[in-house]
């Protein structure tokens, strides 16, 4: 058996040959998966199927439609063009290439294909709506109005929903929202429109109205499984895990054979740190769909989190066996840090990065995975080339403004002055339970957390979003619309105490009754002044590392979300300078508040640094803190495998292997780097 029977996967299921299953079953599986809302899995099923059935035109068209939904119109055009090359009058491909051209801002070209598609399928409303838009955008307004009238004559409700679908596919969210509201004015009980409107609200992080719309949709139609799943996912985003599980259970009661519902349930259990239940639930999903990438990948992540590395590797390898183009699974293996790819896996990855038709997201995963592979081989030039190409590609999809970061920090520094904090000394909740570990990613924060969590009085939790949510709620509650940080100027002592209690209450779900708990969200470092205001007895530990090791570690890491500053050397260096600037502000305004723990000192002088750490936290000495790697607890960060080993010094000054490629970063950080001892400076400064 490939995975333990405990996790529900029957033996040999992945050995089933694709060709023994009829093409229609593959197509129906992909289509039903798409309808369930799992667009990524539907794409993987199509890509997995194509090589075994002569690149079937219906599978190609479905894959093209998925690419449009995922906003990759150029890739979609190639797929539809392939179909038209073999079957020139295929209506679905004519419409598809028209929609792809429309999404690619080429309305005149789109109209040519959509006219042919409308002639080939005269009763299809969606074709007419797309044609109307293409004609309007290319200046043919009279013909556009005629096409719209024809579409609404065919099916008014479907035509209206088609308008929304096309707007969503092109990213025109405001227009789609307006159209959906118009539909709901005509029919307030249109549950599909309610669900689509809720999805727009979720994308804009407007969770409260989204929840109301989804709750209304399932009240109107209690059997509407996709809406129950959407509601469960939304509640999970809000960390309302019990309610999310109730919602997903409603979906399972209605249709226990929908794979995506089981995966949704497993994801919720994972977020709630109920890892054994999560594994069992992923296993049930795999019983229904043995090659499901989401279930295999999710299972791999949970197994990694609880320290079962070999089983984790098995799950990820099953995933890449079933889906060779699924870059996320390769990166998950590379991200184990202690893992090495075999020759065949490297060959596949090299083939994938050379495929210009592959979507950017998996290519990024492959580039960074190959970077890690060549780094393991000590081929640092080749490794950096892959890291660079992957980061450049990822940066195209990120939004980050260094000036905005500086402006926000300026405002925080101005508000949280020494006078402001001294005037409010003694405010807030006196509870001393929180221990916050802050800093930049890849700077040793997980090591610090693991050492502290080995103490009998300390609860190890995870990177908690609670402090930032208290801040966000403060901005929303401001009576005059004043945002944070200026909003704190209007707070009285009672309000400040309430904010401290709100943070403590929201973090209770991660705790089991120990006296102290760790909040290891690194991005909390700009909020130390706010933390001092609402929880003056909370401890703060700043995880520090050599600037170049810290920045390089982030550059080599592919983050699921956030940390958008890490994909460009100038932006990364600028952010590091901002981090040090605001930490210097806290050092001057709150002397003694923050304990700086340097990674290099921790790994070379473990016992003394551990004693210093425990003394700062007011904790008695316990020998097991030196044997932190024996602690059996779930670890969710990229360093999970490394901190399950005794301390090692191999990561110190690792940046020297890449020094020839770090010129821009070194230039940005020059003033800081020149403050270091000569032996820790770049060789271009005369260092060793």
The pLDDT of residue 317: 95
Report the alpha-carbon distance of residue 12 to residue 209 in Å, rounded: 46
Cβ-contact 23, 60 below 8 angstroms:
no
The pLDDT of residue 13: 37
The pLDDT of residue 481: 80
Q: Report, as an integer, the average pLDDT of 287-301.
A: 94
Q: Which of 242-246, 428-432, 462-466 has the lowest mean pLDDT?
A: 462-466
- CATH 3.40.50.300 domain range(s) in the chain: 402-685
pLDDT band at 565 (very low <50, low <70, confident <90, very high): very high
The pLDDT of residue 10: 33
The pLDDT of residue 646: 67
Q: Report, as an integer, the average pLDDT of 240-265.
A: 96
Q: Report, as an integer, the average pLDDT of 480-508.
A: 94
Q: Considering only CA atoms, which of 307, 263, 257 is closest in space to residue 283?
A: 263
More confident residue, 37 or 536: 536
Averaged pLDDT score across all residues of the chain: 91
Superfamily of domain 16-171: Tetratricopeptide repeat domain (1.25.40.10)
The pLDDT of residue 239: 86
Percent of the chain with pLDDT over 70: 94
Report the alpha-carbon distance of residue 197 to residue 76 in Å, rounded: 25
Q: What are the Cα distances from residue 429, in Å, to 118, 409, 426, 465?
A: 67, 25, 9, 19
Chain length of the chain: 688
Q: Considering only CA atoms, which of 259, 265, 260 is closest in space to residue 247?
A: 265
Q: Considering only CA atoms, which of 638, 654, 677, 298 is closest in space to residue 449?
A: 638
Q: Report, as an integer, the average pLDDT of 317-324.
A: 92
Q: Report, as an integer, the average pLDDT of 435-457.
A: 93
The pLDDT of residue 648: 67
* Cα dihedral: 84, 90, 91, 95 (round 10): -10
pLDDT band at 357 (very low <50, low <70, confident <90, very high): confident
The pLDDT of residue 645: 62
Q: Report, as an integer, the average pLDDT of 508-517.
A: 92
Residue 687 has pLDDT above 80, yes or no: no
The pLDDT of residue 171: 85
Beta-carbon count within 10 A of 355 CB: 12
Percent of the chain with pLDDT over 90: 78
User: Tell me: the pLDDT tens digits for 168-199?
Assistant: 888 889 999 999 999 999 999 999 999 999 99
Burial class (CB in 10 A: 0-12, 13-18, 19+), 15: exposed
Q: Considering only CA atoms, which of 110, 237, 238 is closest in space to residue 169?
A: 110
Cβ-contact 16, 24 below 8 angstroms:
no
Cβ-contact 28, 60 below 8 angstroms:
no
Q: Considering only CA atoms, which of 439, 400, 676 is closest in space to residue 541?
A: 439
570 CB-side CA count, 13 A: 6
The pLDDT of residue 644: 52
3-state secondary structure 556-596: CCCCCCCCHHHHCHHHHHHHHHHHHHHHHHHHHHCCCCEEE
Q: Which of 300-309, 364-373, 490-499 has the lowest mean pLDDT?
A: 300-309
Q: What are the Cα distances from residue 681, in Å, to 572, 598, 605, 674, 678?
A: 18, 16, 21, 7, 5
- CATH 1.25.40.10 domain range(s) in the chain: 16-171
Q: Report, as an integer, the average pLDDT of 212-217.
A: 97
Q: Which of 8-17, 121-130, 406-415, 421-430 has the lowest mean pLDDT?
A: 8-17
pTM equals: 0.85
Does the domain at 402-685 match CATH 3.40.50.300? Answer given as yes
């Amino acid at each position: 058996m490939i995975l333990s029977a405990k996790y529900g996967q029957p033996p040999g299921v992945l050995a089933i040959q694709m060709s023994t299953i009829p093409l229609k079953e593959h197509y129906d599986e992909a289509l039903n998966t798409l309808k369930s809302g799992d667009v990524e899995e539907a794409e993987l099923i199509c890509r997995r199927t194509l090589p075994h059935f002569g690149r079937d035109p219906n599978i190609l068209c479905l894959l093209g439609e998925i690419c449009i939904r995922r906003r990759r119109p150029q890739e979609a055009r190639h797929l539809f063009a392939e179909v038209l090359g073999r079957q020139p009058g295929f209506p679905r491909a004519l419409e598809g290439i028209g929609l792809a051209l429309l999404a690619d801002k080429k309305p005149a070209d789109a109209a040519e294909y959509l006219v042919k598609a409308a002639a080939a399928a005269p009763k299809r409303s969606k074709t007419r709506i797309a044609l109307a838009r293409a004609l309007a955008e290319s200046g043919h307004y009279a013909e556009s109005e005629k096409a719209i009238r024809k579409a609404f004559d065919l099916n008014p409700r479907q035509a209206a929903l088609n308008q929304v679908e096309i707007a969503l596919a092109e990213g025109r969210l405001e227009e789609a929202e307006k159209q959906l509201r118009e539909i709901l004015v005509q029919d307030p009980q249109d549950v599909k429109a309610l669900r689509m409107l809720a999805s727009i609200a979720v994308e804009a992080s407007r969770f409260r109205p989204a929840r109301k719309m989804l709750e209304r949709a399932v009240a109107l139609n209690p059997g509407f499984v996709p809406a129950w799943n959407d509601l469960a996912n939304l509640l999970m985003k809000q960390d309302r895990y019990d309610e999310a599980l109730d919602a997903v259970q409603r979906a399972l009661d209605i249709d226990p054979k929908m794979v995506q519902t089981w995966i949704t349930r497993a994801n919720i259990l994972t977020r709630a740190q109920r890892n054994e239940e999560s594994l069992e639930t992923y296993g049930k999903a795999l019983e229904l769909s043995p090659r499901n990438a989401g279930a295999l990948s999710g299972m791999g992540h949970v197994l990694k989190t609880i320290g079962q590395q070999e089983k984790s590797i098995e799950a990820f390898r099953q995933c890449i066996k079933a889906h060779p183009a699924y870059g996320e699974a390769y990166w998950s293996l590379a991200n184990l840090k202690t893992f090495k790819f075999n020759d065949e896996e490297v060959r596949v990855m090299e083939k994938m990065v050379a495929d210009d038709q592959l979507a950017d997201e998996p290519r990024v995963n492959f580039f960074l995975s190959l970077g890690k592979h060549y780094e393991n081989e000590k081929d640092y030039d080749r490794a950096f080339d892959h890291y660079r190409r992957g980061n450049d590609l990822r940066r195209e999809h990120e939004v980050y403004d260094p000036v905005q970061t500086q402006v926000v920090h300026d405002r925080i520094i101005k508000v949280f002055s020494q006078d402001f904090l001294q005037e409010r000394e003694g405010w807030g909740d006196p509870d001393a339970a929180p221990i916050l570990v802050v800093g930049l990613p890849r700077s040793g924060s997980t090591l610090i957390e693991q050492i502290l969590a080995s103490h009998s009085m300390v609860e190890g939790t995870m990177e908690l979003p609670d402090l930032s949510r208290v801040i966000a709620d403060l901005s929303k509650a401001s009576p005059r619309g004043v945002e944070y940080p200026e909003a704190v100027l209007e707070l009285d002592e009672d309000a400040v105490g309430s904010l401290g209690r709100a943070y403590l209450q929201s973090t209770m779900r991660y705790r089991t009754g120990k006296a102290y708990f760790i909040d290891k969200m690194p991005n909390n470092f700009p909020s130390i002044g706010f933390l001092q205001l609402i929880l003056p007895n909370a401890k703060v530990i700043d995880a520090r590392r050599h600037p170049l090791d810290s920045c390089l570690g982030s550059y080599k890491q592919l983050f699921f979300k956030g940390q958008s500053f890490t994909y460009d050397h100038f932006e990364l260096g600028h952010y590091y300078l901002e981090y040090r600037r605001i930490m210097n502000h806290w050092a001057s305004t709150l002397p003694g508040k923050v304990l700086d723990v340097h990674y290099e000192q921790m790994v070379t002088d473990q016992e003394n640094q551990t004693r210093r750490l425990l003394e700062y936290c007011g904790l008695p000495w316990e020998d097991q803190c030196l044997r932190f790697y024996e602690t059996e607890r779930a670890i969710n960060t990229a360093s999970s495998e490394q901190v399950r080993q005794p301390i090692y010094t191999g990561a110190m000054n690792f940046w020297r292997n890449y020094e020839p490629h770090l010129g821009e970063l070194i230039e940005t950080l020059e003033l800081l780097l020149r403050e270091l001892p000569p032996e820790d400076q770049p060789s271009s400064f005369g260092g060793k």
